[in-house]
Amino acid sequence: MSGSSSIVAMKKVVQQLRLEAGINRVKVSQAAADLQQFCLQNAQQDPLLCGMATSTNPFRPQKVCSFL
Amino acid sequence: MEELRKEMENLKDQITAVRKTFQDSTLQEAAAGVTVVGRVQLKTRKTLRGHLAKIYAMHWGTDSTLCVSASQDGKLIVWDTITTNKVNAIPLKSSWVMTCAYAPSGNLVACGGLDNMCSIYNLKGKDGNVKVMRELAAHTGYLSCCRFLSDTEIITSSGDCTCVLWDIETGTQKMVFAGHQGDAMSLGVSPDFKFFISGACDFTAKLWDIREAECRQTFGGHESDINAIGFFPNGNAVITGSDDATCKLYDLRADQELLTYQDPSIMCGVTSLAPSKSGRLLLAGHDDFNVNIWDMLKAERVGVLAGHDNRVSCIGVSSDGMACCTGSWDSFLKIWN
């Protein structure tokens, strides 16, 4: 690998880091509060979290027929 | 060159320092008033039997009923998860498949692996036969993951360290996303389809702007390969699973890690992960044959899915949130809720 191509590669890395350093950020307290709010607001619509009645479960156990 | 190296180190330190200035709290503190979720006990409702070898990948269709699975028996199977019927059993040219995907429309499925290609299959062909529609070839390494944006565009991640956005109709690369320093192992598309995230063997996760072909953010912290990655349901956070046996939650707007999900008793790498519909639960598949269920806000383990006789290689929660599907090296898929 020639010296100039590794310099080109390094310049790209530096350029990328400059881009990433310059982004807008939000405080963790705000971000955490929003995540928490999303979870709590959507909790009732989360069947794995809340469970579901057998009658509304599309994967409900099939009734088994047995010989009497 | 030396100057460039110094600048690189300075920028890295700068990013670390800036992130700290935004760390006015932690998710633990914010969620202190929230009660931990009660024990989550899911039952196996269906077992999908039919593959003859290890299952490497599965993906739910958007209708929450059909799903596709890929096995190294050389088959892609489309299942009706409610009846357990096989809707399609597609023989593959290469049996070394590592990933599969279902298009949001339900018209197409895709797969790929050690053949370095992403093969697209049309499920709704005129004569009823499922045929290869396109073979997307350009990667110089294995295909680790693929996800459709639509019937005309798909994103792939590869062992050649890049991700690619393809035009399915022309079979050409629209954009190449280069930047990872190790095999790209997994990818996830944002709910608004504008961004995607990738996890790699360089221990980092990257957020990419699809249209600008730019990496926006890079997240480190893991101590080994990231095998699994997914968006938190509101698109503002990213969850990663690693060979270091932990999962991490990174917030995109705060640009930093919020939580690590770990336990001294968990020593096996994470292979796959999926959040529940509200994001409150995180389901993570491990090499030790189990799936751990975490309360995502409190970082406490609240359940375990034990039912497979070998590594859990893939996991997915359906779009309506009604069920979780696990796929394993034991050749079975299980539907849980």
- Per-residue model confidence as pLDDT tens digits over B319-328: 999 999 999 9
Residue A64, pLDDT above cutoff 80 = no
Closest Cβ–Cβ partner in A14, A23, A38 for B234: A38
Confidence bin at A65 (pLDDT 50/70/90): low
Distance from CA of B10 to the nearest CA of A (A): 10
Chain A residue nearest residue B237, CA to CA: A35
Q: Which two tokens stand for residue B246?
A: 């932990």
Residue B175 makes CB contacts below 8 A (sequence gap 6+) with B164, B165, B210, B213
Closest Cβ–Cβ partner in A21, A41, A58 for B11: A21
Mean pLDDT, rounded, for B232-251: 98
Chain B residue nearest residue A24, CA to CA: B253
Residue A1, pLDDT above cutoff 70 = no
Mean pLDDT, rounded, for B295-322: 96
Q: Which residue has the tokens 């202190």?
A: B32
Cβ <8 Å between B236 and A31: yes
Residue A3, pLDDT above cutoff 80 = no
Residue B289 and residue B297 in contact, taking contact as beta carbons nearer than 8 Å: no
Mean pLDDT, rounded, for B82-93: 97
Closest Cβ–Cβ partner in A17, A23, A58 for B82: A58
Mean pLDDT, rounded, for B222-231: 98
Residue B59 makes CB contacts below 8 A (sequence gap 6+) with B67, B68, B100, B101, B102, B316
The percent of residues above 70 in pLDDT, for chain B, comes to 100
Chain A residue nearest residue B15, CA to CA: A21
SS3 readout for chain B: CHHHHHHHHHHHHHHHHHHHHCCCCCHHHHCCCCCCCCCCCCCEEEEECCCCCCEEEEEECCCCCEEEEEECCCEEEEEECCCCCEEEEEECCCCCEEEEEECCCCCEEEEEECCCEEEEEECCCCCCCCEEEEEEECCCCCEEEEEECCCCEEEEEECCCCEEEEECCCCEEEEEECCCCCCEEEEEECCCCCEEEEEECCCCEEEEECCCCEEEEEECCCCCCEEEEEECCCCCEEEEEECCCCEEEEECCCCEEEEEECCCCCCCCEEEEEECCCCCEEEEEECCCEEEEEECCCCEEEEEEECCCCCEEEEEECCCCCCEEEEECCCCEEEEC
Burial class of B79 by CB neighbour count within 10 A (0 to 12, 13 to 18, 19+)? buried
Distance from CA of B218 to the nearest CA of A (A): 8
- Hey, of B276, B295, B300, which one would you mutate to test binding to chain A, going by the most A CBs within 10 A of its CB? B276
Confidence bin at A60 (pLDDT 50/70/90): confident
- Per-residue model confidence as pLDDT tens digits over B154-204: 999 999 999 999 999 999 999 999 999 999 999 999 999 999 999 999 999
Residue B301, pLDDT above cutoff 70 = yes
- Hey, of B280, B291, B315, which one would you mutate to test binding to chain A, going by the most A CBs within 10 A of its CB? B280
Q: Which residue has the tokens 């190790």?
A: B182
- Per-residue model confidence as pLDDT tens digits over A6-34: 899 999 999 999 999 999 999 999 999 99
Mean pLDDT, rounded, for B93-121: 98
- Hey, of B10, B26, B251, which one would you mutate to test binding to chain A, going by the most A CBs within 10 A of its CB? B251
Helical (H) or strand (E) element with A61: none
Q: How far is B157 from B78, CA to CA, in rounded Å?
A: 22
Cβ <8 Å between A17 and B8: yes
> DSSP class of residue A54?
G
Which positions in chain A touch B25 (Cβ < 8 Å)?
27-29, 32
Q: How far is B53 from B265, CA to CA, in rounded Å?
A: 29
Mean pLDDT, rounded, for B267-293: 97
Looking at this predicted complex, what is its ipTM? 0.93
Residue B93, pLDDT above cutoff 50 = yes
Beta bridge partners of B147: B155
Which positions in chain B touch A25 (Cβ < 8 Å)?
18-19, 22, 253-255
- Per-residue model confidence as pLDDT tens digits over B31-53: 999 999 999 999 999 999 999 99
Q: Which phi-psi region, left, alpha or beta, contains residue B128 (left: φ > 0; alpha: ψ -120 to 50)?
A: left
Beta bridge partners of B102: B109
Residue B208 and residue B193 in contact, taking contact as beta carbons nearer than 8 Å: no
Cβ count near B195 (within 10 Å): 21
Which positions in chain B touch A47 (Cβ < 8 Å)?
277, 320-323, 337
Confidence bin at B1 (pLDDT 50/70/90): confident
Nearest in space to B315 (alpha carbons), one of B134, B305, B183: B305
The percent of residues above 90 in pLDDT, for chain B, comes to 98
